[in-house]
Amino acid sequence: MNKNGKLYFEIDGKPCYADEGQSIIDAAKANGVFIPSLCHVEGVKPAGSCRICNVKVNGRVMTACTTPVEDGMVVDNDIPELIELRKAIIDVLFVSGNHFCPSCEKSGNCELQALAYRYQIMVPRFPYEFPLKDVDASAEHIFHDANRCILCKRCIRTIMKEGKHVFAYQGRGGEHLQIVMDKELASLLTEQEAQEAMEICPVGAILKKEQGFIVPIGERKFDKVPIGSDIEKQ
């Protein structure tokens, strides 16, 4: 514990400080260290579902979004073993969905694509599965495409209408689980709410209608700098 009442910990040897109860991923961000994640939303109870933020805490693999910092903690983040694991999970997500970056409305703003670029993944190591997935375009302002969904649960945890969840899991298991949209609640979403839902989705599974290519590809968030640069620049 240092003099300001903050917890002291280290990430890859870098001295860092955290508030009591702060998760490793949030504390890392505050200290200018990028830990990649596809399911974490700051301020929302962590899901620990994408497993990309796995770090090593005192030698043990733990998700940085669900583990609170403890005083004196030693965290490994940017080490070959974890980079390999993260790349493998990114590969898994690419082959178990149908991702078509060149024509996707989210290209350049997509966190999955951006992580693949950051880790210099040219092609997934696993064979593509080309699963059959559903598309739901029934609501006025919002569009849900399960082909591009990585089942991260961000929408389930954050998008509410009338105090109820708009999105939910359906089914279980490796071949049947998907996220579905409540048709009734989705039809009530305003343009603004549809926009927020699109922004919370890390990939192109939730889209606001009539929005697709207003900002041209090439001028989007991750087109010019790799994901995480804003955190590391601090």
Partner 1 sequence: MTEKIQSIIRKYSSDKYRMMDILLEIQELYHHIPEQAVEILADQLDLSRVDVEQTISFYHFFSLEPVGKYAIYLNNSPVAHMYGRTEVARAFEEEVGISFNSATVDGLIGLWDTADIGMSDQEPAAIINGTVFTELDPAKARKIIQGIKEGKKVADIAEEIADKIYSKGLLRTMVKNNIHAKGSVLFGDFELENALRKALDKTPEEVVEEVKASNLRGRGGAGFPTGLKWEYCRASGGDEVFLICNADEGEPGTFKERVILTELPRMLFEGMVIAGYAIRAKQGILYLRYEYRYLKEHLESILQGMREMNLLGKDIAGKSGFDFDIRIQLGAGSYVCGEESGLIESMEGKRGEPRNRPPFPVQSGYLDKPSVVNNVETLCKVVPILANGADWFKSVGTKESTGTKLLSISGDCKNPGVYEMEWGMTINEMLEMVGATSVQGVKVGGPSGNCIDSTHFGRSIAFEDLATGGSMIIIGEQRDLLRDFILPFTNFFIEESCGSCAPCRSLTVILRNKLLKILNGNGTKKDIDELYTWAQMGTTANRCGLGQTSANPIITSLDNFRNLYDDLIKTDQDYLSAFDLEKAVAASCEVVGRVPNIESH
User: How many chain residues touch partner 1 (CB under 8 A)?
Assistant: 45
Nearer Cβ to partner 1, position 92 or 231?
A: 92
What separation in angstroms does the CA of 68 have from each of 16, 62, 83, 155, 225?
A: 14, 10, 22, 23, 29
- DSSP tag of 216: P
How far apart CA 62 and CA 58 sit, in angstroms, is: 10
* Region of 71-79, 149-157, 203-211, 221-229 interacting with partner 1 (CB under 8 A): 149-157
- DSSP tag of 18: E
Contact positions with partner 1 (CB under 8 A) in 32-71: 46-52, 54, 61, 63, 66-68
Residue in 126, 130, 224, 225 binding partner 1, rule: CB under 8 A: 126
How far apart CA 206 and CA 137 sit, in angstroms, is: 10
151 to 190: interface string for partner 1, x by CB under 8 A: x-x---------xxxxxxxxxxxxx-x--xxx-xx-----
- DSSP tag of 147: G
CA-based nearest residue to 107, from 203, 172, 180: 203
Contact residues: partner 1, CB under 8 A: 46-52, 54, 61, 63, 66-68, 85, 88-89, 92-93, 95-96, 126-127, 129, 150-151, 153, 163-175, 177, 180-182, 184-185
